[in-house]
Structure 1
Amino acid sequence: MTYSETLDWLWAHLPMYQEKGNSAFRPKLDNILMLCEHLGSPQEQFPSVHIAGTNGKGSSSHAIASVLQEAGYKVGLYTSPHLKDFRERIKINGKDISQEDVIAFVEKNKDFLEAHSFSFFEVSVAMAFDYFSKQKVAIAIIEVGLGGRLDSTNIISPIVSLITNIGKDHTEILGNTLAEIAQEKAGIIKPKTPIVISEYHKETAPVFEQIAQEREAPLFFAHLIEAPFSMDLKGHYQSKNIKGIVQTLRILQEKGWKISEENIKAGLSHIVNNTHLMGRWQVLGTSPKIVCDTAHNAHGFTEIFTQLREESFSTLRMVIGFVKEKDLESILPMFPKEAVYYFCSPKIDRGLPVKLLEEKASNFGLKGISFCSVKEALAKAQEEAQESDFIYVGGSTFVVAEVV
């Protein structure tokens, strides 16, 4: 098969959460354990760092990988979802897995994959573990897909784990309260393995304290530590992420990983160049200023609107679209009524129909026009904007994927 044919086979044969939603989520680890056993348990062949959280886990994963690259290590990085190409999920020192390696993995294991009911995510995780093992990475940074306890990545035995923050997202799967969601995220805490929490919250802290104590895992709340570094990733929220990142790096240093202060400074200053991260307060244009961001829940938008208040502009124009299961009743009231809206829907099955979005937005006093595609919406916003205006593009990772 060609690379395109291989991806078509994966899409057609494996239920994908990004496309199908909750029906594709597998709340158990049996399948991933079976698949990795078939592959020779590659997840046991390299050291790792495990990262979970409602928001910020992607930025934190890329930042830690960047620092370790600057320290001279061969670093595997697994994240999800991808924006443009499936291969973005699996990287070594910032370079995507090759098309040939993706094809070879599928062709070699196709019969086994067809004989069992694996999800797309399970296969992508197993592929990453297999690739990192074969390429003999010095360390791999593994980002949780959804939740933690029952996420397919949660079969590794990391050196240290990091939970960035807890917010209300995927409540239909993870729970309706912050404490319930924290319980699921805390599922990545391993016995006697250090766990770092980037943001302190009085409702979730007791959950982490109890589980860490039960598992004899050293617990570090990072919100009070000094982090005298800056990141090339823009956005107000990175000031919270950086504390968990630095605390995690400090633990790696204590465990003998050779990471200098200069490595940390350089790594955090060159995250985009080292890892090719996209979609985090990414500037797409300057006249007018156009920024896209993958924030997609109330917690994320709290940070986005804090950042927007620090920007100077004449008119705020917002190109937004969502997926169907988002809790718009809690998200849309946060959006400014004085902004001009360009409603759209990402090109996936889960995309919220644009007319429904326009109707719901109108209920909260948000006025705008609907468009058939994200690109059409952005083009109209650009056409109507003055140089002093600000255009924001977001609402979903899949909206951002269509403009970066």
Structure 2
Amino acid sequence: MDYSDTLEFLFSRLPMFQRIGPAAYKDNLDNTVKLDDFFGNPSRKFKTIHVAGTNGKGSVSHMLAAVLQAAGYKTGLYTSPHLKDFRERIRINGEMISTDEVVAWTEKYRANNELLNIDPSFFELTVSMAFDYFAREKVDVAVVEVGLGGRLDSTNIITPEVSVITNIGMDHISLLGDSLEKIAQEKAGIIKAGIPVVIGTTQVETKKVFDEVAALKLAPIFFADQEYEVMYGMTDLDGNQLLSVRKDGKKLYNQLKLDLKGMYQKLNLPPVLKTVELLRDMGWDISEENMLRGLASARKMTNLMGRWQVLGYNPLLVCDTGHNAEGMKEVVYQMSQTPYEKLHIVLGVVKDKNPERLLSLMPTDAEYYFTRAGIPRAMEEKELARIAAGFGLHGSTSSSVSKAFDAARGNAGKNDMVFVGGSTFIVAEIL
């Protein structure tokens, strides 16, 4: 079995939430535990940091991984979904797992599946693959991003050094609940007994949930945005953000450099700073220089893509993976702060999510290019255009992302801006 055959097995033969939706979601961790047992419990052989949340958990995970790398720790990073290559999900010190490793692990699983007698999901297999790889490569620590929810996510068999929950928004409501409180309860499932938990954003609807779960589990809880205040400063000549940071009301950094794009990163920095503070208190050797160097080179060190990523100039071409109302609100704000003569937006969404909340936030003065990604979950572009018209959004339709992108670029003047987003899968096809 070669790499192509392996990917076909992983994607096509096993249910995968990103492609087919709720049918891929499991309501227990039985398969994950069995797989971990079979491979010798690799999840117990390295230290971890567990990161959940509706928006920002990917950026937070990459920043933490970069800081740990800069401090000299051999650092694993498990994230999802991928944009261009499956192997993006599993990295050590920024380097993707090799194709040979993916093939060998999958073959070992398949050869022993009669003994295991289970039918694991795509998530369960990839998490098990990552943990086994990290253990065999003897990483010092792995930053593990939750895929969906928290309580029942396949990653939730670890006992981390710190649990992190970035924020809570109305996403995946068919699986996680139809209120912020219910969704928070699912995310709070990663809080472990006695393990400190960092909450990135204090929200009226969710604070009580986190406080109660943490108290029940005797887990110290910290609301990072109550301690750290981050203000957007300016951008240097290389495009890095220079941020002003205050801690407990006192100036901490005047110009903290961050190479991750997007003004919304100021919301993701407080939980990173608080987590690093807690790790230091536990005895982790992370100097001030290590932390600042990691943050200044996070994108470069971890190869993060799709966060206000500039693809070209004249016209300005930007993509972003923000795909729910909370994430898109920040993206739209950044658009409003970006100079351009005319705005062109290539937009696609998935059909199992309610698009109205997202569409209600989109600028009405843009020219839209409605399209669909090449997955079964994608909403048909004409249906999207019909719904969007009710919010004053108008433009053309295209059955492929590449055609929509080409049309937008063709219509854009050199001083215009072309934005691509609405779905991770739209961005993935552009990249």
Q: With structure 1 as the length reference, what TM-score do the two structures score?
A: 0.98
What secondary structure sits across from 1:91 in the alignment?
Answer: strand
Secondary structure of the equivalent of 1:203?
helix
- Identify the residue that residue 93 of structure 2 maps to in structure 1: 93
Return the match for 1:129 from 128, 131, 136. 131
State the shift of 1:202 in Å: 1.0
8 Å contact kept, 2:371–2:398: yes
Q: Which runs of 4+ in 1 moved over 2 A?
A: 111-115, 224-230
Aligned partner of residue 257 in structure 2, secondary structure? coil
1:272 CA drift (Å): 1.3
Q: Post-superposition shift, 1:267?
A: 0.3
Query: Is 1:30 aligned to residue 30 of structure 2?
Result: yes
Superposed displacement of residue 112, structure 1: 3.6
Paired residue secondary structure (2:77):
strand
Q: What is the 5 A alignment of 1:339-378? A: 339-378=366-405
Q: How far off its partner does 1:329 sit?
A: 1.8
Secondary structure of 2:429's partner? coil
State the 1:224 CA deviation.
2.8
Partner of residue 21, structure 1: 21
Q: Identify which of 227, 240, 263 aligns with 2:267.
A: 240
- Aligned partner of 2:297 in structure 1 is 270
Instruction: Look up the match of 2:148.
Output: 146
Taking the aligned partners of 2:279 and 2:219, their CA distance within structure 1 comes to 15
Larger deviation, residues 299-308 vs 124-133 = 299-308
Contact 2:48 2:158 in 1 (8 A): yes
Name the SS for the 2:194 alignment partner: coil
The structure-2 alpha-carbon separation of the partners of 1:287 and 1:175, relative to structure 1 and needing over 3 Å to count, comes to same
Paired AA for residue 260 in structure 1: S
Partner Cα separation in structure 2 for residue 315 and residue 241 of structure 1: 30
Farther-moved stretch of structure 1 (150-159 vs 102-111): 102-111
- Structural mapping, 1:5-404, within 5 Å: 5-113=5-113, 115-226=117-228, 227=245, 228=253, 229-404=256-431
Q: Structure 1 CA distance, aligned partners of 2:165 and 2:97?
A: 26
Cα separation, 2, equivalents of 1:276 and 1:235: 16
Q: Is the 8 A contact 2:202 2:226 kept in 1?
A: no
Partners of 1:152 and 1:112 lie apart in 2 by 20
Q: Distance between the aligned counterparts of 2:351 and 2:373, measured in 1?
A: 10
d(CA) in 2 for partners of 1:112, 1:177: 42
Amino acid aligned to 2:65: A
User: Partner letter of residue 78 of structure 2?
Assistant: Y
Q: With the length of structure 2 as denominator, give the TM-score of the two structures.
A: 0.92
Letter of the aligned partner of 1:219 in structure 2? Answer: I
Q: How far has the Cα of 1:113 moved from its partner?
A: 3.9
**1:12 Cα deviation after fit:** 2.8
RMSD over aligned Cα atoms? 1.0
Percent sequence identity is: 50
**Offset at 1:230?**
3.1
Give the whole-Å Cα distance in 2 for the aligned partners of 1:158 and 1:354.
42
Question: What is the SS of the residue equivalent to 1:314?
Answer: coil
Deviation (angstroms), 1:327: 1.3
- Whole-angstrom CA distance in 1 between matches of 2:58 and 2:376: 24
**Unpaired runs of at least 5, structure 2:** 229-244, 246-252
Corresponding letter in the other structure for 2:145: E
Distance 2:12 2:174 in 1: 26
Give the residue type in structure 2 aligned to 1:108: K
**Counterpart of 1:75 in structure 2: which amino acid?**
T
The alpha-carbon deviation at position 310 of structure 1 amounts to 0.9
**What SS does the corresponding residue of 1:196 show, helix, strand or coil?**
strand
